[in-house]
Amino acid sequence: MNKNDFYEKVADLKIELTEEMKMKLEKYADFLLEYNMHTNLTAIKTKEEVYLKHFYDSMTLTKIANLTEGTLLDIGTGAGFPGLVLAIIYPNLQVSLLDSNNKKIKFLEETVTLLNLKNVKIIYSRAEDYTQKNREQYDYVTSRAVAELRILLELNIPALKVNGSFLVMKGNAEKEIKSSENALEKLNVKIENQEEFELPLNGGHRTLLKIKKLKETNLIYPRSYDKIKKKPL
């Protein structure tokens, strides 16, 4: 996806990109590809793929949520997707980027400095440790392609405010949704919206879920990651 195609598709999402935002996205793409030559951050190797499979893909969350303001936690953010992209296009959204990989944290720190982003906080931690200690703090929590849905639910939901939304990004998710029914009940959450679509240029199928938190999360969650993985809810 070249830049002009990207701008057209983004406009279809009703996102207005300023010249400053366009410049920051281009700097981000260039720095990511340059950094990726010595530190493995992404399997994507071209700017066209970055614009489609990282930038545009991240922005599709606007299909299910109004992210112009509030607080968002991106768990397992990796090289900053979707959280850092959202921070660029929504300067009034306070974004926390969490990852347990020190090399990716270093990249994020350098990128935030390069782009002079004032609305981003970077957190070096394991998800279960952070969400156990920072409960009911965020309006939105999101994760892209990090783990199976029922595992993500237990890791992420504790950090979400009551009535907040967990924004899930998946490929084909029908089986995962079905196997998560018990987790949804135990964690007092419900699927409020589900969007299915294809990325442009045969980029692949996408499923977005907006999951609403109905009540405070029981203090026993999240369990240790070993327990979550061995016996998901």
Tell me the pLDDT band of 91, cut-offs 50, 70 and 90.
very high
Nearest to 158 by CA among 137, 177, 179, 186: 137
Give the N- to C-terminal CA distance of the chain in Å, as an integer: 39
For residues 50-58, give the mean pLDDT. 97
Give the pLDDT of residue 146: 77
The reply to whether 1 falls in a domain is no
Which structural domain range is residue 100 located in?
Answer: 66-230
- Tell me: pLDDT of 120 over 80: yes
Please state whether beta strands 204-213 and 189-199 pair in parallel, antiparallel, or not at all (unpaired). Answer: antiparallel
Total tally of structural domains belonging to the chain: 1
Output phi, psi for 232, to 5 deg: -60, 155
- Tell me: pLDDT of 6 over 80: yes
DSSP line for 169-191: EESS-HHHHHHTHHHHHHTTEEE
pTM of the model: 0.96
The reply to whether 32 falls in a domain is no
- Tell me: pLDDT of 65 over 80: yes
197 burial class (0-12, 13-18, 19+ CB within 10 angstroms)? exposed
What is the residue type of 132? Q
Which of 41-45, 48-52, 78-82 shows the lowest mean pLDDT across its residues? Answer: 41-45
The reply to whether 9 falls in a domain is no
Provide the percentage of residues in the chain whose pLDDT is more than 70: 100
For residues 80-102, give the mean pLDDT. 98
Of the CA atoms within 13 Å of residue 197, those in its CB half-sphere come to 15
For residues 35-53, give the mean pLDDT. 95
Query: What distance in Å separates the CA atoms of residue 208 and residue 173, rounded to the nearest whole number?
Result: 9
What is the residue type of 175? K
Give the pLDDT of residue 92: 98
**pLDDT digit string, tens, across residues 101-117:** 999 999 999 999 999 99
The reply to whether 53 falls in a domain is no
Give the pLDDT of residue 145: 73
**pLDDT digit string, tens, across residues 128-164:** 999 999 999 999 999 997 789 999 999 999 999 999 9
Give the pLDDT of residue 203: 86
The reply to whether 17 falls in a domain is no
The reply to whether 140 falls in a domain is yes
For residues 7-19, give the mean pLDDT. 96
Q: Pick the residue with more confidence: 202 or 212?
A: 212
* 188 Cβ contact list (under 8 Å, min separation 6): 213, 214, 215, 216, 217
The reply to whether 10 falls in a domain is no
Eight-class DSSP state of 159: G
Angle between helical axes of 102-115 and 19-36 (0-180°, round to 10):
150
- Report yes or no: 184 and 190 within 8 Å, Cβ to Cβ: yes
Quote the tokens at residue 5: 């195609």
For residues 6-22, give the mean pLDDT. 96
The reply to whether 16 falls in a domain is no
Q: Pick the residue with more confidence: 140 or 172?
A: 140
For residues 163-187, give the mean pLDDT. 95
The CATH number of residue 170's host domain is 3.40.50.150
Q: Residues in the chain, how many?
A: 233
